[in-house]
Amino acid sequence: MDMSFPSKLSDTVTLTGGVEMPWFGLGVWKAKEGREVEEAVKAALRFGYRSIDTAAVYKNEEGVGRAIREAGVPREELFITTKVWNDDQGYDKTLNAFEESLSKLGLDYVDLYLIHWPVTGMYVETWQALEKLKRDGKVRAIGVCNFKIHHLEELIQRTDTIPAVNQVEYHPRLTQKELAAYCRERGIQLEAWSPLMQGEILQEPVIREIAEAHGRTPAQIVLRWDLQNGVVTIPKSVKEERIRSNADVFDFELTPQEMERIDALNQDRRVGPDPDDF
């Protein structure tokens, strides 16, 4: 495979449209608004993370914005993602929801704005609002979350822009091979949410065995597997030590055999909802 793996935390992948996105970031789902999310974001920035992924429905955009301001990292070094929630989909509602997110974050623009779930009958119109936000320079890149191939097909057929990113549930029990191949062919960057399966995958004997062989934690093995598969990853944690060790995945490499053993753990099993019946 002729892919050079990212070799440091600041390494980026170039999205369609030329925007550089870090391969690795901090997810803040379930991080409580206020001190908890602020401390997590500040710790991540201190350890060299530059990508932070939030969403309107997480109800912690204000905390993320405060932490960013207090950390004092230059805005152009940061990559901030947020998402429009299902209740706010539709053209005008999406534009309003975006302004609200922007104001909570206290930013002039967002690096990546995503449709959180494919709400039937709404997501095409929502996407057209995202296209406008991008044209107006309020977001640098636009994408989707939890879109299956049929959702992406409809979007591509009915609108002018192919999503730059598709953020989906992705881990060794849900390897999404067909979706990954589809996205690769169309220049859509796959991004993993719940890469550690909310901790469940860390007990898997194969993962533990490979971790032992490398003198690494099971989490580091899974996150490294993401990167070697060309998948951007945003593990969520509010524990400083975990945030630091999650990102310590750039100075070792899994062998092709180890990659295959991890791929073989697939069961097409989700810990989150199925996008078709959400």
Task: Name the residues annotated as catalytic.
Answer: 58
- φ, ψ dihedrals at 209, nearest 5°: -65, -45
* 117 in Cβ contact with 55 (< 8 Å): no
* 272 in Cβ contact with 27 (< 8 Å): no
Distance CA 130, CA 125 (A): 9
Cα distances (Å, whole numbers) of residue 132 to 5, 126, 198: 34, 10, 35
Distance CA 164, CA 114 (A): 10
Per DSSP bridges, beta strands 232-233 and 79-84 are: unpaired
Distance CA 158, CA 146 (A): 18
* Category of 198 on φ-ψ map: left (φ > 0), alpha (ψ -120 to 50) or beta: left
Measured from the Cβ of residue 85, the count of other Cβ atoms closer than 10 Å reads: 18
* 167 in Cβ contact with 193 (< 8 Å): yes
Measure CA 141 to chain center.
Answer: 13
